[in-house]
Structure 1
């Protein structure tokens, strides 16, 4: 480990306090299985006031190994409080493994001074915290960062101007672009926006307050999502006004001045701090993680990627043993110069369908794009159409919107679900391939090339890849939403990204392509009039027509598809 002189004059005089971590944290720690054995007992210094950039106190807890010696420091900054689950997951577990852990509440949360303002203060406050660290007798000058979601955003904020002490980052199910969290192709991520509103407003007040607020939102959700207009409808459900939530919901354009400085995507383009990335196939921020990986690789930055069968929240629950082990190995490699825990390849992904992990050299791996085409009979075939005539149509009614089911949400309903009940609706098209005679692997980005016309000129289109098993269950794999803006009846040609996946369609299974006019309340319903979904009070049904030159595009290894001579369904 690199030797530093920070605080060396007084390090020998620092006497660690005798206080143990909170009882609730120790009790939760005792319930976890499959984690590495602890190396050290843990001490705790709670409630330290760290001056922010403007002097406001940022309340900070310090966890540390109760042992002699130099230990590197991990900085964990959070707007969600410093108690459960952050105290045991980050404070206790990493201190047990030989790290000082500085767990800090962002300004305006968890007792810290100032006012919380989504993303605007994190660059300056992160730098101020590092300045404070340099004055601590126990800080040896070797610093890492770790954390999920917004706790990842603050890592990117620190990396805008990385301090020389910063030697490693671990970004778990991480955010770098707030706009993309709330909007997609002009559509509002309504359900996720409400979930973020509850989390940001209540979680730092403690688990009891957060649970009450979550249950209240659940009870009031239908009233919120069906309100006309949508603006302000969340207030009873969230227990009051949340000004920043109003702002993010009403600014759908990423180029709006409101979003200036929000996206930290460009940080990865010039970073040379080794950065480990972790996400799940159904993580609401999965696309952002893949973008981070691409930018880091293009910049030549040392990076690694782990993708599990997780949602945003299950990565930190069912997936925690793998996530913690991956994070710990990365931090030990770069803060202790101990690479023994690193895996041999840069990328490890969980492959759905075969329920196994694969180590691969890079992401996406070398694949070919295979196109699958819809037919008027509802089949999915490899045979390209000979014309672009209208194929089939459906009517989308925003007063009875197509419901969302599973997928990359922040709620408990996220992840893979059986879509069979959804697919019997009149406003959902499905195109299904024949039973496979050989497995088909999809490894990489999935997209839809759509040729569609509408009778109003204003519509959204939701497109999803599903795996139909031998029992007829249709399980969602990945999906995406696009916005159609055309002259009436004229076809619109758009490509809709449907995220990335690693999935094996087994022998006997069928590939299904699902198309509809929305997924509510995951996305705010399109009113069909061109009005903002936040302010619309008039809703117009729209007739949507799919043309034959549309295609589902899958990243697949160059291999036989086991479909017979034409692949017709």
Structure 2
């Protein structure tokens, strides 16, 4: 995960004072380097606390924006990072207790007057905000939490829900931030430039040997398999939550699950963004939201108790400038419906090739290449490929998608990766959805496989075709399943796996907008 952009909150009549650096003592006395920016007007002030491993100094413009709107704003280096001394053990130690000590310190200050505090963060900083919000009641717990593109925990970030390892993202993050007090954001990119096959070396636990610097915590990362701890704890919380994510963010489903399971008033904003909360295409400019202004307005409503006690939100219909309103557990007619695209029907997905294919970890289907090679004589297909006819009219997608198909594998352990791509009338490819599951079925036995593809938010114009690929690998985004039954992280041998997909009874399940409920995202989030 990378640092999300600063949510600069715009201008206000009263300029804040300059940012000052203070040292806030952790429970064991460790001085945590913290930048503080106070409003120009007299207090007491509500406060905003950001705890980050990505350098507090990157948030100075954001702090000034908060202060200009009447909030005392703090950004703190977590223990062991940048200006804060101590050991750095991501996700495992200190974040909850250090966060509680920081918020208790804030409430002791004259400019706070014991007033309300909002815990705010993006990515790892969202993890810090959430564990502090879910801590013991008292002065160390905030009154509201904003979690953007949240990295919920070790297992949540390292693995997909069904087990496959998120290799490329974790290698990049650990190379940049692991086992060091500072950051080298491009460390993996530089290593790959020198050795493009770096991530192919086996076993994966020896990756630091090829990076040129020690990463003692790297092998232990993969020992963590229990996901969902923060989501489960959040079900008992009564604090207001604003969960912000992007349909192109690999942690989007964690954002949705956090919102869906939260016990207090919860709001979801799911935009057409990646992990940096920025759009990857210029035509998505119509979907822009001023996140800084939203955060300020939502915080005021949350701290004043003006939020309705429900779970609601807005999902982008990417590229259209429209947002679809969602409510969890709301009564009344649903605004979406399930649409089934069979694999063996003219109006569904037509099998192009690869009803039988070979998943070979020696030549895996790559995650960084959307092109699909034409079958070569005498060379087995490396994926099952399906294609829809052109859409006769625009289609709005807003909700979960799933691929369900009948298949066989000749190996005792198999990954099944499904990639859904939108092809515009000119044939240009745009990623739409992806999912991967790990199965351990009897070799050669036909089974039904269900692959969740996440929550979609997109308007597809007329003439768009849907392309579905079913493969055994998605490398280097995900580690290669060796097909030997060994742990992919420690395996040293690779073997090909023969696969077969049966079209009858198989289908793509999408959620389409049946009754348009367009909303303005900011007012919808703040009421």
Band the TM-score falls in, shorter-chain normalisation: 0.7 to 0.9
Does the CA contact (< 8 Å) of 1:468 and 1:512 recur in 2? yes
**Cα contact 1:380–1:431 (8 A) shared by 2:** no
Does residue 1:196 correspond to 2:173, yes or no? yes
Q: CA deviation at 1:170?
A: 1.1
Alignment pair present for 1:290 and 2:256: yes
- Out of 461, 464, 470, the residue aligned to residue 509 of structure 1 is 464
Whether contact under 8 Å (2:12, 2:68) holds in the other structure is: yes
Q: Which residue of 2 aligns with 1:422?
A: 372
Q: 2:508 matched to 1:556?
A: no
Aligned equivalents of 2:146, 2:325: Cα separation in 1: 20
**TM-superposition CA deviations, 1:193-245 (whole Å, max 9, x none):** 1122134338963xxx52453543442563431102221223442x4222332
Q: Give the structure-1-normalised TM-score.
A: 0.79
Secondary structure of 1:399's counterpart equals coil
Match of 2:184 among 204, 210, 216: 210
User: Which residue in the other structure is 1:564 paired with?
Assistant: none
Q: Distance in 2 between matches of 1:380 and 1:405?
A: 30
8 Å CA contact 1:452, 1:544 repeated in 2: yes
* TM-aligned CA deviation for residue 321 of structure 1: 5.5
Matched, 1:110 2:82: yes
Identify if the C-alpha distance between structure 1 residues 359 and 402 changes in structure 2 by more than 3 Å, giving closer, same or farther.
closer
Quickly say closer, same or farther: Cα 1:438–1:397, change in 2 above 3 A: same
In 1, Cα distance between the equivalents of 2:149 and 2:355? 39
Deviations 1:245-281 (A, max 9, x none): 22113x26328xxxxxx83222220111111111100
Please give the residue correspondences for 1:159-558 in structure 2 after superposition, counting only pairs within 5 Å: 159-160=133-134, 161-163=136-138, 166-184=142-160, 185-201=162-178, 205=182, 210-211=184-185, 213=187, 215-220=189-194, 222-237=196-211, 239-249=212-222, 251=223, 253-254=225-226, 263-296=229-262, 299=263, 301-315=264-278, 322-335=290-303, 346-352=312-318, 354-362=319-327, 366-375=335-344, 381-382=347-348, 392-405=355-368, 419=370, 421-422=371-372, 424=374, 426-548=381-503, 549-558=505-514
1:124 paired with 2:97, answer yes
Q: What does residue 566 of structure 1 align with?
A: none
Partners of 1:452 and 1:480 in 2: how far apart?
Answer: 16
Does structure 1 retain, via aligned residues, the 8 Å contact 2:358–2:496?
yes
Deviation at 1:493, TM superposition (A): 2.1
- Unpaired segments of 5 or more residues in structure 1? 1-27, 256-261, 407-418, 560-569
Q: Structure 1 residues 555 and 534 mapped into 2: Cα distance closer, same or farther (>3 Å)?
A: same
Question: CA distance change for structure 1 residues 373 and 252 in 2, over 3 Å: closer, same or farther?
Answer: farther
Alpha carbons 1:443, 1:502 under 8 Å: kept: yes
Residues 234, 366 of structure 1: alpha-carbon distance in 2 compared, 3 angstrom cutoff: farther
| Alpha-carbon separation, structure 2, partners of 1:59 and 1:109 | 9
Contact 2:176 / 2:185 at 8 angstroms: preserved in 1? Answer: no
The Cα of 1:363 is off from its aligned counterpart by 5.5
**C-alpha displacement at 1:381, in angstroms?**
4.0
User: TM-score normalized by structure 2?
Assistant: 0.85
Query: 2:52 maps to which residue?
Result: 78
In structure 2, relative to structure 1, the CA distance for the partners of 1:44 and 1:225 (3 Å cut) is: same
Q: CA deviation at 1:295?
A: 0.7
* Per-residue deviation, residues 294-328 of structure 1 (Å, max 9, x unmatched): 112xx3x2121111111001449989852222212
Provide Cα deviations, 1:459-496, integer angstroms capped at 9, x if missing partner.
21110222221111232211100113222211232211
Do the aligned partners of residues 201 and 475 (structure 1) sit closer, same or farther apart at CA in structure 2, a change above 3 Å counting? same
CA displacement at 1:392 relative to structure 2: 1.2
- Give me the whole-angstrom Cα distance separating, in 1, the residues matched to 2:32 and 2:295: 26
User: Contact (CA 8 Å) 1:203, 1:210: kept in 2 or not?
Assistant: no
Q: 2-side partners of 1:381 and 1:254: how far apart? A: 40
Residues in 2 aligned to 1:523 and 1:380: alpha-carbon distance in whole angstroms: 33
